[in-house]
A and B are shown apart, each in its own frame.
Chain A
């Protein structure tokens, strides 16, 4: 009887699109690459492989075998008692068997009508989302072996006060850190599996269990023995909610980078209340690259990397807009200047109407104004906001007029509804040095 109920609860669903570790059967390039990676793992002579503990190596081997559509190899590479005590290994074995079940049922063909339904239900139960830890580690290893040189598409320019940046890719459960080296070049210094909020999507409300999408900064860093049991050896809080979040009515607080509760080595990819967490044995080396106030944190999904073309085009468009804004400001032509502002604009307590009144009044009292901008940080927000695309621009501003002189760092948030619309200033504020 019980099984009648259970069977009735089976939801009609589309077969899941193959993704992640599922055998893609994709291009021959992928197949060739996967074969090469599997061989590298088996040979074990590359540094990226040699440094892996034995269990991790078996896990990555199983992951790449699943990717290449060889579930039997995956199952065989995970043997021994440790597999039973390791939730990720057990899950990889489960996925290997699930894929073998799909293959078997597919071979059974149209032997019986309902095997078709069975096949799609089997496919729907794809376990690969839970295997993102293996996927993230595999990608990190592949990038290391291949010497990946592409840079994140969203990082357009970095000012002298940025020492490092952290990319949190929620869809891939991967954290990549770049830091400025002695020659001023940014280099990839960490590439780790990261656990994010239990809820999917962007954070909106306190308690929704989601990790916020956007551009943040680490505010501080501390090792507090009182927190170690729950959050690991170091905690690094971010500045969520920032101006852009507040403009959109997002709330909640306390989004940190931290470790795992003591005694826990593995956690599933979506398992925090909104923070992002790393295993305690990886956290200290990663946190060493976090400089409060000088490290950016980009959080998004499927962050893009690029050889340079798209980044250059985006950067040029933003620079052009900011230069035009500077010139229109200097010209004391209030109407030309105010055209650069977004209808939803906020600066402190001022909306666009209040800002326009204020600026017209200031401009009318001046004979001349000189504005100089330097030391730019320009970062594209990987996420889409209600106003469209958003870019963060920061610079040092030198202002001089017949009756006022000022120097300081400023932040603008620009938005445009689509790629052919002009950038408009959504938020403007002065920031402490």
Chain B
């Protein structure tokens, strides 16, 4: 279990408890009291719920599961015990059981967005686990790239920016989702190759962002001083040309698809093939492209560029 996981899980528990906490808000160190409450009145689902939450916080997962199961037995119409069971199973690393509980929750309360989103995160995590397993059994460069993509599916920055805006309930739920997706992937072979690909993808993305944002300096900085433009231009002529073209455009949109990175054996050079969709106020074009990048002291820089 990673640091902070319990805290975030607990936040979700608190949130999902919302309709009930007014009745049974547990104070710290009240486990015994909660226990005696359910002993006195075994049919009080609110007591069981409070006990389940307490046990979860104390990481007594089997006990927490028992308590939440009791709640859902007494009140099969409530989705909340299933949500909390999902969190508990998730924390235990039993993702399939977590998904099953969220499915039940959705049966009771269809279309609940936060639950759907959490379910998405758990399936994502399961997918990541299984690709990791497949990669551990055989190395496959293309699969590895899809794996890296899945690892990036949940945009953490966007998640965090939402914290301040969204209603409290939804925040906590998705924080746990992010936790689910960002959970560390299983170790797979050829870690260095993956790292190079990651860095190269990042450089390509910076290039794309600079270009789309018409940030001419950042765009030119993506290219090496050794970059050789085609068509008989010198590097200076090419830079001037790019400055003019990009400076003149009011809008540039560059999207990339099918990005495939082939790092060299040395790890200092990489070839990137991609499908580029370019759209400006003046021109729209799509085509296959190849970039050659080299690792320089200032990072990965484009040394060659051509269409395929």
Contact = CB atoms under 8 A, between A and B. Distances in A.
Contacts of A107: 111, 113, 116
Q: How large is the interface on B (under 10, 10 to 19, 20 to 34, 35 or more residues)?
A: 35 or more
A9 interface: yes
B127 interface: yes
B259 interface: yes
Interface in A7-23: 7-14, 16
Interface string B107-119: 0000101101101
A348 interface: no
A87 B134 contact: yes
A104 B102 CA distance: 10
B5 to A, nearest CB: 14
Interface in A123-165: 124-127, 129-130
Interface stretch (A48-56, A111-119, A273-281, A288-296): A111-119
Interface stretch (B15-23, B28-36, B199-207, B224-232): B199-207
Q: How large is the interface on A (under 10, 10 to 19, 20 to 34, 35 or more residues)?
A: 35 or more
A111 B256 contact: no
B101 to A, nearest CB: 13
Interface in B146-201: 146, 149-159, 162, 166, 170, 174, 182, 198, 201
B25 interface: no
B96 to A, nearest CB: 9
B131 A94 contact: yes
B153 A118 contact: yes
A9 B141 contact: no
Contacts of B295: none
Contacts of A198: 141
A91 B155 contact: no
A105 B149 contact: no
A104 B99 CA distance: 11
B307 interface: no
A7 B138 contact: no
Contacts of B121: 101
Contacts of A126: 146
A419 interface: no
B153 A112 contact: no
Contact of A121 (B130, B142, B149): B149
A118 to B, nearest CB: 6
Contact of B120 (A10, A108, A267): A108
A124 B113 CA distance: 22
A404 interface: no
A271 B140 contact: yes
A97 interface: yes
B41 interface: no
A6 B185 CA distance: 14
A85 interface: yes
Interface string A247-282: 000000000000000001011101100000000000
B146 A97 contact: no
Given A10-B155, A112-B166, A105 B150 contact: no
B116 A108 contact: yes
Contacts of B128: 94
A4 interface: yes
Contact of A9 (B119, B124, B150, B202): B202
A86 interface: yes
B138 A122 contact: no
A7 B131 CA distance: 20
Given A90-B137, A111-B117, A13 B157 contact: no
Nearest to A108: B116
Given A3-B182, A11-B204, A11-B205, A114 B143 contact: no
B163 to A, nearest CB: 11
Nearest to A78: B130
Given A87-B138, A90-B137, A268-B143, A108 B130 contact: no
A105 B140 CA distance: 28
Interface string A87-112: 11011011101101110110111011
B133 interface: yes
A117 B141 CA distance: 25
Given A3-B156, A112-B162, A200-B260, A95 B127 contact: yes
B257 A13 contact: yes
B59 interface: no
A112 B146 contact: no
A122 B170 CA distance: 21
Nearest to A71: B123
Contacts of A115: 117
Interface string B200-244: 011011001000100000000000000000000000000000000
Given A7-B156, A98-B127, A112-B166, A125 B150 contact: yes
B146 A268 contact: no
Contacts of B119: 100-101, 104
Contacts of B182: 3
Contacts of B260: 200
A8 to B, nearest CB: 7
8 contacts: A3-B156, A11-B259, A88-B134, A90-B133, A112-B174, A122-B153, A124-B257, A200-B260
Given A12-B212, A97-B123, A266-B137, 15 more contacts: A7-B155, A7-B156, A9-B152, A9-B202, A14-B277, A85-B137, A90-B133, A90-B137, A104-B116, A108-B117, A109-B111, A112-B170, A122-B120, A130-B142, A270-B142
Interface of B: 99, 111, 113-114, 116-117, 119-121, 123-124, 126-131, 133-135, 137-138, 140-143, 146, 149-159, 162, 166, 170, 174, 182, 198, 201-202, 204-205, 208, 212, 255-257, 259-260, 262, 273, 277, 308
Interface of A: 3-14, 16, 84-88, 90-91, 93-95, 97-98, 100-102, 104-105, 107-109, 111-115, 117-118, 121-122, 124-127, 129-130, 198-201, 264, 266-268, 270-271
A-B CB proximity, top 7 nearest: A111-B113, A94-B130, A101-B123, A104-B120, A108-B116, A268-B140, A97-B127
